[in-house]
Amino acid sequence: MGAYKYIQDTFRKEYATKSPEYKARLIAIRKEPVIKTLDKPTNIPRARALGYKAKQGFVIARVRVTRGSGMHTHPVKGRRPKRMGSRKLTRKKSKQTIAEERAQRKFTNLEILNSYWICEDGQHKWFEVLLVDPKHPSIANDGDVSWITSNKHTKRANRGKTSASRKGRGLNKKGIGTEKTRPGRRARGRKGR
């Protein structure tokens, strides 16, 4: 087993056992702002697997997202409380997608490459978002990530083009049973049928 595999297993065990290292990290992260840039990733193997490289042009941001389904307004028309439809509702997006969108709004000149989960408590979840500067020469000259410099990859998180967004829209599956997922569930008149 390589070094990264040991690091990944340690990271997983810390969360599973709620080790003192995990709790100390959580206490420190709680005191930070909602979006904070980092010098290096917390989970290096995971970041490397998603395309991160320790070179100029890469930026890491840790984003905090509130857990739960959010606030739902009561309907205006009269009905009994049981039929109000404001409980047991879930968000249409995953927390990871929301974190990516918030990072995109904060860093308008950067593009979202990917993101991954870091930690969570009863109130919040934290994700680390990998961002890339498409105008940086080291990115343009890197064959692995130079595709993101193209104009068709601008504002990927807001257009649902990241991995987390595609997973939430059911685009990771192909074949039988996924006939109605493309081009999108809400693509009226663009199904080609």
What average pLDDT does this structure show over 5-9? 91
pLDDT tens digits along 178-189: 888 888 777 766
Q: How many domains does the chain have?
A: 1
In a domain, 10, yes or no: no
- For residue 86, what pLDDT is reported? 79
Q: Are 8 and 46 in contact (CB under 8 A)?
A: yes
- Express as a percent the part of the chain with pLDDT over 70: 96
**Domain assignment of residue 130, yes or no:** yes
Structural domain containing residue 125: 33-70+87-168
Q: Is residue 21 part of a domain?
A: no
* Per-residue pLDDT tens digits for 115-164: 999 999 999 999 999 999 999 999 999 999 999 999 999 999 999 999 99
- Residue 77 falls within a domain, yes or no? no
DSSP characters over the chain: --HHHHHHHHHHHHHHHT-HHHHHHHHHHHTS-SEEEESS-SSHHHHHHTT--SSTTEEEEEEEEE-SS---PPPSS---GGGS--SS---SS-HHHHHHHHHHHH-TTSEEEEEEEEEE-SSEEEEEEEEE-TT-HHHHT-TTTGGGGSGGGTTTTTTT-SHHHHHHTTTT--STT-TTSSS-TT-TT-S--
What pLDDT does 45 receive? 93
Q: What is the mean pLDDT of residues 45-62?
A: 96
Q: Which of 128, 162, 167, 168 is CA-nearest to residue 148?
A: 162
Q: For residues 139 and 48, give the distance between their C-alpha atoms in angstroms, rounded to a whole number.
A: 15
CATH of the domain at 53: 3.40.1120.10
Only one residue has tokens 């979202």, namely: 112
* pLDDT grade for 193, boundaries at 50, 70 and 90: low
pLDDT average, residue stretch 41-66: 96
> What are 95-128's pLDDT values in tens digits?
999 999 999 999 999 999 999 999 999 999 999 9
- 45 belongs to a structural domain: yes
CA 143 to chain centre: 24
